[in-house]
Structures are given as structure tokens and as C-alpha cells.
Structure 1
């Protein structure tokens, strides 16, 4: 069973990571979330769950307005051939979330390291990064260095690369 948002927040607390979470109506798109800009400071994320020709999976976390060239991004992330979006079933299996709630925090559910997480270097220039805490009915603000520490605590080694144009 995937972790719940409460279990995620408890895990962060166990790591000594302080976060701030704001609840709100469900947000399904970047456009939906932009209505909160005055209320939640920091870098806001957009996430792409991708797979390559060898069925390897990648979670790309970029700034909400970043443009990612799906025709060439495989060369940047080390994918085998062009990438496509991963199926919702795999998203649920590996990250424990559904489309519309994809988040870097989902990596906590990838206990078998099936997904490579890649963070955009432009996003990582923000001191605070905002992401859904496994539900699109809330936004959790976390420090940049704490996000990296969280990802490593899940057994993943995050890549920080230039993903956006």
C-alpha cells in the first residue's frame, strides 16, 4: 500500500525536516495551482513521469512554467531512446499517486528503486520548493537541501540536471 500524506509528513518529521503544508481544493493542472501564487512562496513544481524504450522510468521535477523537449530529453537524463509518458497504472504502482497528483514526494513509495528522480537545476535555485504531499488537495513547502535529503533517505540518488529550455 502506498504511503498516505500523513505517513509522508511523519517520515519527514522523523528525518528532522520541517515543512509547511497548506490545504486547498484539488489542483489538477499548473493553471489551477497558479491561483495560489500570492499565498505560497517559493518554486512551484511540474512533474513528468516518463519511460524510455527499455521500460526504465523517470520522474522529472521542474519549475511549473518550464518547457521540456520530450524529443531530446532522453539524451540529458540518460534514457534509452525517446521517452513517452508512463502509464497511470505504473504511476500508481511505483509512486503511489494518480495523474494530477504527481510529485517528487511520490518517490517515497518507490521502495524497489524503479524510478530515477531528476530535478531541474533551475528549480533547485529556489530556497523553498513546493510540491503536492501525495495528494493534489495540499501543497507542502520544503527547503531545497531538505528535499535532497528526503530523496536520499528513500534510497534514491537524485540527479540535478538542466532539463528545461
Structure 2
């Protein structure tokens, strides 16, 4: 595994949705680094990727959630080492009975499959059906790590660029939330 600057030189065999992410970032003038790897389906599988991306990079859990009626959808970015309990989020966003959204909604709104969920998928939500939720602890690290809509690459982006350039261009105003860490949930 090797950290590369910017988009891959050869895009042959890469999915169109991945290339759209690189085009999006390049158009915004966002500098980023990339590492290609085997499919990463769990936070544990991301540990080696984390080491390659380097210190100061917040690797996030990206959770695609919905209400019981499947009418409201949320993309939650939270630190990878924080436990997630729906009750801690429900009260903050005024939505009871949150659960993980079905894969078909993930594909419909974000053009992403399970294991590849990323803030970058919001560029595909042109109707604004998904509310972006960000745990405030995600913003504490100087760099932010995410997938380019596929789980065989990971990106390292300045958190300041995420806030100042990427999120405004995604046109999904974030709602900041505060989820308790493991020690606070005892």
C-alpha cells in the first residue's frame, strides 16, 4: 500500500462514480492523497489503511440511516472508534426510531453500495433527500479520510477543505451533533 498524490494516472478498470469524485475534487482545487487497497468492509480492515494515511487523519464511520417510515435519510460521519447508539442521535435530530437504511436507498440517493459509504456520495444526491450529520469530534483532526464512493481506495483530505470547499459544493448543509464516547456511555 502506497500513499499517492491526487487521482490515479490510469483510470482503466475504475468505476465512473470513483472518477466523478476525482473530477469533483479537482474542479474545487482540493489537494488530496489516495491509497488503493483491497475492499475494506469493516473498521478493523481499515486499520492498515489508517497507518498508510498517517497520523492526524480522522477515519470515520459513515452510517446511512433512516427513520422508521423510511421517509427521512441521514448520513452520519463519526469517529471510527466511537460506539454508535441510535438513542444518542435520535434526540438531537428529532427523529425517533432510527435504523440503518436499506442498501437500495443507499444506491438510489448516493450511488453507493454497502461498505463504500462516504460523504462524497452526497454529490449524487441532487434532490437533497439525505441530511448530513457530523459528530463534532470529526472536525478535530487536521485531515479527514473517506472513500471515493468505492471501498478499494481511501482519500486523505484536509479537514479545512472539507469544511470550506467540499461541503458547500455538495449543497448539503451539515447538522453538527455530539455523540458520547465509550467512556461516557458506561
TM class by shorter chain equals over 0.9
Counterpart CA distance in 2 for 1:46 and 1:98 is: 15
Offset at 1:37? 2.9
Q: Does 1:89 align with 2:74?
A: no
CA contact (8 A) 2:61 2:79 kept: yes
List 4+ stretches of structure 1 deviating above 3 A.
none
Counterpart CA distance in 1 for 2:79 and 2:88 is: 18
State the partner residue of 1:118.
Answer: 133
Which protein is bigger by CA-based radius of gyration? 2
Q: Does 1:21 align with 2:21?
A: no
CA contact (8 A) 2:89 2:177 kept: no
Q: How many residues align?
A: 163
Counterpart CA distance in 2 for 1:117 and 1:139 is: 20
Using the TM superposition, name which of 107-116 and 36-45 deviates more: 36-45
State the partner residue of 1:40.
Answer: 53
- 2:151 is paired with a residue whose SS is coil
Counterpart CA distance in 1 for 2:107 and 2:26 is: 24
- 2:105 is paired with a residue whose SS is helix
Counterpart CA distance in 2 for 1:121 and 1:80 is: 19
Ranges in structure 1 where 5+ consecutive residues have no aligned partner: none
Counterpart CA distance in 1 for 2:132 and 2:79 is: 15
Q: Does 1:99 align with 2:81?
A: no
Using the TM superposition, name which of 35-44 and 60-69 deviates more: 35-44
State the partner residue of 1:75.
Answer: 91
TM-score w.r.t. the length of structure 2 is: 0.82
Offset at 1:3? 5.8
Offset at 1:152? 1.5
Offset at 1:53? 3.5
Counterpart CA distance in 1 for 2:95 and 2:19 is: 36
- 2:53 is paired with a residue whose SS is coil
Change (3 A) 1:37 1:156: closer
Counterpart CA distance in 1 for 2:106 and 2:53 is: 27
Offset at 1:62? 0.8
Alignment partner of 1:108 out of 98, 109, 123: 123
Offset at 1:163? 2.5
CA contact (8 A) 2:110 2:122 kept: yes
* Structure having the larger proportion of residues in helix: 2
Counterpart CA distance in 2 for 1:7 and 1:164 is: 35
Kindly report the root-mean-square deviation, in angstroms, between the aligned alpha carbons of the 2 structures. Answer: 1.6
